[in-house]
Structure 1
Amino acid sequence: MKNIIIGFFISCGLFAVKAPQVNTIDHITNAYINVKNSLAADNAPLAKSRAGILLSELSAQPGKELLPAQQKVLAKYADQLKFDARHISETDKIDHQREHFESLSKNMYALVSALKINKQTLYQQYCPMKKAYWLSESEEIRNPYYGSKMLECGDVKITLKPAVN
C-alpha cells in the first residue's frame, strides 16, 4: 500500500513537471487578434468589448512565467499597450479605435518579436494606404484600418514563427 501511495505522488509530480506552462503572452496576443478582427469587421461595439478583455489580460500581472529579462521587455511595453487598449475599450467611435489600434499594433509587434515565445505563427501585415502595420493570425489580409471599404488592402511583411518548446 505504501508503494502505491508513493508511486501515486511520484506520478503526480512527473505530471506537474510535464504540464504545459500557461503563456500569458499568448492570452494577450489572442485578445489583441480579437480586437483586430472586430475592427476588420467594422464592429466598434465588439472591438470595444474585446479591447476590455485585452486590457484585463494586460492588467492581470501577466508574465509571471517569464524569465527576468523577458519580464523587463513586457514591462517596457505594458503601459502603452494598456493605454491604447483602454482608449479602444472606452469608445464606440471606430475611427478613434483605429487610431489607437495603430499604436497598439506597433507595440504588440515589438513585444512579440522581442520575446519570441508565441505559440502560433503570426504575420505582420501592412496597409499602404494608412501606412500602418498590424499583426494577424492568418496570411489572409483582413484590414482593420479600413474594414469593408478596403478589406483586402495590404500585404504580409514579416512572418513570426512559433517558438520551439
Structure 2
Amino acid sequence: WLVLDAYESDLEWIRYGQTVEFAVDACPGEAFTGRVAFIAPILDEMTRTVDVRVNVPNKDGRLKPGFLANAHITSSIAADGRAMDASLAGKWICPMHPEIVKDGPAPCDICGMKIVTAESLGYAAPAAAAAEMPLVIPASAPLITGKRAVVYVAVPGGRGRFEGRDVVLGPRAGDYYTVHSGLREGEHVVVNGAFKIDSTMQIQAKPSMMSLPGAAVTAEPPREVKIRADVPERLKEQLAAVVQASFGVQAALAGDDLASARAAASAVATVLDSADMKLPGGDAHGAWMTEHAALKRAGEGIARAGDIGAARVAFKEMSDALVAAANRFGLAGTTAVFKADCPMAFDGKGGDWLQAGPAVRNPYFGAQMLECGDIMPFYRP
C-alpha cells in the first residue's frame, strides 16, 4: 500500500480506481503506478488532508515500508464534475481490489466479491456525461473577492467594450477554472487586464466586482472643498502650497520609489516650516495647529520609513490631515486638485489622497494596482 495525504481541495479530482503515478527517492528516475483503493471518510483537521490508499504491485520488494513518495493523479472530468476515465468506460470493478477490472459482471479474482459498474463508483457514463466536456477559463480571467467571482466579457459588435458578469466557478485545474454557470462556450473573456477594466468601471460609478449583484449604483457628483472657517486668504495659499508639495510624495509612492518619496516628504516639511502659524484666529487656530502637527508627524514618518509599506501608512496620515484642513479652511491658487479614494487599501479599510491630475495614480498599491480607485474634482480655481 501507498498512503497519500490529499488536501481537501484535491478531493474533487480523486476517485476510487484511478491510476496513480509516483516516484521515490530510493529509485531516482523511475516511475511506479498503482490504483486508488480507499479514500478515507474523515478529514484530519490539523493538516486539512485526507488519507488516500493506493494498491501498488511490489513483487520484487523494491518499495520498502517508510519510503517517502511524491505522487500525482491525472484526472479528466465531465461537465457535471464527475471524473472520466476512458479505460473504465463500460467496465466493472471490484470495490475492494481496484486493479480487478472486467468487461462484465463476475466475481473478483482475489476476494470473490461481486464487481460493480464504474458508474456506480462515481465515474461519468461514457455515452452521456463523458461526451460533454466542462467549460473552462484561464485562472487569470476571474476577479475573486472571496464571495463572488466576476469575469469581464467582450460585448458582441462593440469593439473595446466589455461587461462584467458574475460566474459560479468549479474547482481549479492547474492554470484553469471550471465554470458551472454564468458563461457560454464561445464567449470572449478578458484574460489579462481585468482589474484595470474593473477600476475604470468603479471610477465611472458602474457595476463592478465591488458592487453587489443587483445593487443600484449612483455616481457622486463632483464637489469642491467645503469651507467652514473664515480665514485669511494667505492661509489658503499656504495650505495649497503644502498640498502641491504632497503631490511629489503621492507620485513617488505610486511609482514605488521610496527614495523619491522621502525626498518629497522633506520638501513638504520645508513648506510647513515656512507657514505663518499666527494667521488663523479663534477656534480655527487650534484646528490648524492640530492638522499642522499631524502633517509634520506624517512627513517625518515618511522621511524615516524603512520600507515603502511604512511610508504608505504615514502618507495616509498626511492625506487625512490635508483633506481635513482643506475642507475646513479652503484652498487658493490656480491649480486644480483631485481627491481619490481606494476602497481596497489597508485590508479593505480604504484610503484617500489628493493628486494633481484626473487619472488615478494609486500611492497605496503602486504598480500592483496603479489605477485602482475613484476620483473626483476637489478644488477648482
TM-score by length of structure 1 reads: 0.77
Query: Aligned equivalents of 2:310 and 2:269: distance in 1?
Result: 17
Q: Distance in 2 between matches of 1:112 and 1:84?
A: 16
Alignment partner of 1:156 is 2:156: no
Larger Rg: 2
Q: Could you list the per-position Cα deviations for residues 35-81 of structure 1 after superposition, in whole angstroms to 9, with x for gaps in the alignment? A: 11111111000000110111121123x13684435544421201111
Residues 147-156 or 64-73, more deviating: 64-73
Cα distance in 1 between the residues matched to 2:293 and 2:280: 19
Counterparts in 2 of 1:30 and 1:142: CA distance versus 1, 3 Å: same
Identical aligned pairs, as a percentage?
24
Secondary structure of the residue aligned to 1:68 is coil
- CA distance in 2 between counterparts of 1:158 and 1:114 reads 17
Given that residues 336 and 356 in structure 2 are in contact (C-alpha distance below 8 angstroms), is that contact kept between their aligned partners in structure 1?
yes
- Tell me: CA distance 1:63–1:25, structure 2 relative to 1, closer, same or farther (3 Å): farther
Q: Which has the higher strand share?
A: 2
The runs of at least 4 aligned residues of structure 1 exceeding 6 Å deviation read: none
Per-residue deviation at 1:157? 4.8
Q: Deviations over 1:8-28 (max 9, x none)?
A: xxxxxxxxxxxx969322221
* Aligned equivalent of 2:266, options 27, 40, 52: 52
SS at match of 1:125: strand
Name which structure has the greater RCO, CA cutoff 8 Å, separation 6+: 1
- Equivalent in 258, 281, 285 of residue 68 of structure 1: 281
Q: Which runs of 5+ in 1 are unaligned?
A: 1-19
Contact 2:331 2:379 in 1 (8 A): no
In 2: Cα distance, 1:30 partner to 1:58 partner:
12
Distance in 2 (CA, whole Å) between partners of 1:157 and 1:27 is 20
- Distance change >3 Å, CA 44–CA 124, structure 1 → 2: same
Q: Is the 8 A contact 1:81 1:107 kept in 2?
A: yes
Q: Is the 8 A contact 2:247 2:354 kept in 1?
A: yes
Partner of 1:89: 303
1:122-133 to 2 correspondences below 5 Å: 122-130=337-345, 131-133=350-352
Q: Residue type matched to 2:314 in 1? A: H
Q: 47-56 or 112-121, which moves further after superposition?
A: 112-121
**2-structure distance, mates of 1:102, 1:67:** 25
Please state whether the residue corresponding to 1:85 is helix, strand or coil: helix
Does the aligned pair in 2 maintain the 1:126–1:157 contact within 8 Å?
no
- What amino acid maps onto 1:125 in structure 2? A
Aligned 8 A contact 2:277 2:289 in 1 = no
Distance (whole Å) between structure 2 residues aligned to residue 135 and residue 91 of structure 1 = 21
Q: Secondary structure of the residue that 1:63 maps to in structure 2? A: coil
- Which of 358, 361, 364 aligns to 1:145? It is 364
TM-score by length of 2: 0.35
The structural deviation recorded for 1:92 is 4.5
Amino acid at match of 1:126: D
Larger helix fraction of residues = 1
Amino acid at match of 2:342: C
Q: 1:21 to 1:103 in 2, by over 3 A?
A: closer
Which secondary structure state, in structure 2, belongs to the residue aligned with residue 126 of structure 1? strand
Aligned equivalents of 1:73, 1:158: Cα separation in 2 = 24
